[in-house]
Amino acid sequence: MIKVVIVDDHDLVRMGIHRLLTDLKQIEVIGEAQNGEDAVNLMRNLDPDVILMDAEMPGIGGLEATRRMIRYNPDVKIIILSAHAEDPLPSKFLEAGVRGYLTKGASTDEMSVAIRKVNSGQVYIAPEIAQKIALKSLNNKAENPFDQLSDREMQVMLMITKGVKVPEISDTLCLSPKTVNSYRYRLFEKLNIDGDVELTHMALRYGLIENH
């Protein structure tokens, strides 16, 4: 059996994925988590074969959770489930060490193929995402301004666009408020913008966050 942990902050999404996976042979869901911190703890305690994890969650989020899991166990097999197919988010996760990247529109068959391939040591990227990454590498003119952000700047950016304040970002990422603000101002400078509101509008425009 392939032991799977599901990580998503929406109860209905977790329940839906759990139900889909229950119908598949040789796949067993052994745990669920609703945020990155719980996911890291579950990974340590349950030793799953594959972790299916949402890219965007409250708290440390998917990217930081990925980094912490891989730091603890470099062989951990993580598949990201995301509403966003637009780069640079998929590339950031792949660079961080995830083994798979699916969109939330993935069929049960595709999810099954991804889990089995990743469990066997291969990498699985949803075709539409792989195509966008390939096209971007061929066409430098279509460069996304967010590509130039470091992993940490990307984390801070995603938290700011969710309305998380500097003190909370500081506590969550174990950084001083001064350091968080340094990252903020650095990414403002790189993106040539003036503040959090403009940052949120820009992230929406490039498909990095959802418009709730």
* Domain locations along the chain: 2-137, 144-205
Q: How many CA atoms lie within 13 A of 159 on its CB side?
A: 28
pLDDT at 182: 93
The CATH classification of domain 2-137, taken from the options 3.40.50.2300, 3.60.21.10, 3.40.190.10, 3.40.640.10:
3.40.50.2300
| 87 close to 144: Cβ distance less than 8 angstroms | yes
pLDDT at 140: 56
pLDDT at 62: 85
Alpha-carbon distance of 129 to 110, in angstroms, equals 13
| 53 close to 26: Cβ distance less than 8 angstroms | no
Number of CB atoms found within 10 A of residue 25's CB: 7
pLDDT at 59: 78
- Amino acid letter for position 199: L
pLDDT at 27: 92
Alpha-carbon distance of 88 to 23, in angstroms, equals 33
pLDDT at 139: 59
| 174 close to 152: Cβ distance less than 8 angstroms | no
Instruction: Name 147's Cβ contacts closer than 8 Å, sequence gap at least 6.
Output: 87, 88, 91
User: Which parts of the chain register pLDDT below 50?
Assistant: 141
pLDDT at 132: 74
pLDDT at 30: 94
Cα 95 to chain centroid distance, Å, stands at: 11
For 196, the token pair is: 């959090």
The CATH classification of domain 144-205, taken from the options 1.10.10.10, 3.40.50.620, 1.20.140.10, 3.90.1150.10:
1.10.10.10
What pTM, to 2 d.p., does this model score? 0.70
Q: Residue 126 to residues 45, 80, 129, 143, 181: CA-CA distances in angstroms?
A: 29, 10, 5, 21, 35
- Amino acid letter for position 155: Q
